[in-house]
Amino acid sequence: MTTVLLDALVPIFVGLLLGYIAGRRGLMDNDNVHVRDLIVLVMNFAIPCALFSTLIRTSREDLEQQVPTVLMITLVFTVFYAASYLWARRSLKMSVSDASVLALTVGFPNSAAVALPLFATSYGSASTVTAALSIAVGAITISPLTVALLEADKQSQGTGISIQNVLRSFVRALARPVVWAPTFALIAAYFGVHLPGYADRTLMTLGSAATGSALILTGVVVSAQRFRFNRVIFWTTAAILLIQPIFALSMTLLFHMSRDHVRDITIISAIPGGFFGLVFGKSFDATPETASSGLIASYGAGWLTLALWMLVMAKYF
């Protein structure tokens, strides 16, 4: 088991560390202007292609079997997104923009950079589909909601947002490749659409850059943020690494899900915070210190807590 953990986790955290060091030492510019090109590469090309090529090869039967898993992942992500948003607004007195960035950082684990390589190494191809679906769930639901809240708050200039503005912004957010690519892939897979060989290989080639570039991007984004540890950061980190996977484990057991689904959903929920929030927030000058410091702290402790969660799931489930 130790070898499996090392094979799965070391490459992930080395990639994150390289991105962080490159940003801190100036080997890669981590300011808003220069990091935008890397964001476009990852969010508009690499991840959409990786998601599309993975999901479209899934059979209708496998998709139907994954419906309970998708619903459970959606429940976990949305519950923690909503709870984090309300906590940020009511207790921390954050703006709508800052609260939405924090909520996405907590509610959407970094499945793009961590789940795909981790599951491929540790649990096989079937679990890779679950990992890809977890990215699709976050990309289709709470990610466009965050963009919608950011746009609506910017348009209101702090005077308050309306449901109509949020809905209009949500529709515009659906045009992002990271949102529509997995949606189209799921529809095509369900109806048995098969791509020509050259198209499939093209997507696989472009998507092969997803894991490495997402890891580097996460490290570079984190390197640009200030770090401060206090009680709020502690609870943010605990929510990401402990409370969310405990909630996921409890819900999967409550609904008597299969052993593999219990394991996969719990491990996904135990992954450190995602970079989507800070990436989206950069475009709207919304990078709250609580989100950035919580993200850094989750990676600092995440290598240990994720290994412990994997050991627990292997031993007891």
Q: What is the pLDDT of residue 120?
A: 80
100: confidence class by pLDDT, cuts 50, 70, 90: very high
- How remote is the C-alpha of 282 from its chain's centroid? 16
* pLDDT tens-digit map of 162-212: 788 788 888 888 888 988 999 999 999 999 998 898 998 999 999 888 878
Domain membership of residue 276 as a residue range? 2-234+272-300
pLDDT of residue 38: 84
* 248 in any annotated domain: no
Domain count along the chain: 1
Confidence at 159, pLDDT banded by 50, 70, 90: low
Measured in residues, the chain has a length of 317
Q: From CA 218, how far away is CA 276, in angstroms rounded?
A: 9
What's the distance, Cα to Cα, between the start and end of the chain in Å?
15
Residue 67 has pLDDT above 90, yes or no: yes
Label residue 291 by pLDDT band (50, 70, 90).
very high
Give the pLDDT confidence score for residue 267 in this predicted structure: 95
Q: What pLDDT, on the 0 to 100 scale, is given for residue 98?
A: 94
Contacts of residue 140, defined as CB under 8 A and 6 or more positions apart, other chains included, come to 179, 182, 183
| Res 5: pLDDT | 62
SS (H, E, C) 285-311: CCCCHHHHHHHHHHHHHHHHHHHHHHH
pLDDT attached to residue 252: 97
Domain annotation covers residue 257: no
Within a domain: 88? yes
236 has pLDDT over 80: yes
With 90 as the cut, is the pLDDT of residue 71 above it?
yes
Domain membership flag for residue 69:
yes
- Tens of pLDDT along 2-22? 666 677 677 878 888 899 899
Q: How confident is the model at residue 115 (pLDDT cuts 50, 70, 90)?
A: confident
CB 271 within 8 A of CB 115: yes
Q: At what angle do helices 142-156 and 177-190 cross, to 10 degrees?
A: 150
- Predicted confidence at residue 1, as pLDDT, reads 58
Query: Over 80: is that where the pLDDT of 157 sits?
Result: no
* 110 vs 241, residue with greater confidence: 241
Full-model pTM: 0.87
What's residue 32's pLDDT? 64
The pLDDT-based confidence of 33 (bands split at 50, 70, 90) is: low
Handedness of CA 162, 168, 172, 173 (dihedral sign): positive
**Is the per-residue pLDDT at 246 higher than 90?**
yes
Q: Classify residue 112 by its DSSP letter.
A: I
CA distance 150 to 42: 20
Please check whether residue 109 lies inside any domain of the structure: yes
What is the structure's pLDDT at 313? 93
What's the mean pLDDT when you consider all of the chain? 88
Q: How far is CA 69 from CA 104, 134, 266, in A?
A: 20, 9, 11
Instruction: Flag whether 25 is in a domain.
Output: yes
For residue 265, tell me if it sits in a domain: no
pLDDT at 237: 96
The answer to which of 23-27, 139-143, 219-223 has the lowest mean pLDDT is 219-223
Is 239 among the domain residues? no
- 178: domain CATH number? 1.20.1530
Mean pLDDT of 290-309: 90
Query: Which band of pLDDT confidence, cut at 50, 70 and 90, is reported for residue 243?
Result: very high
* Residue 85 pLDDT > 80: yes
pLDDT confidence band for 123 (50 / 70 / 90):
confident
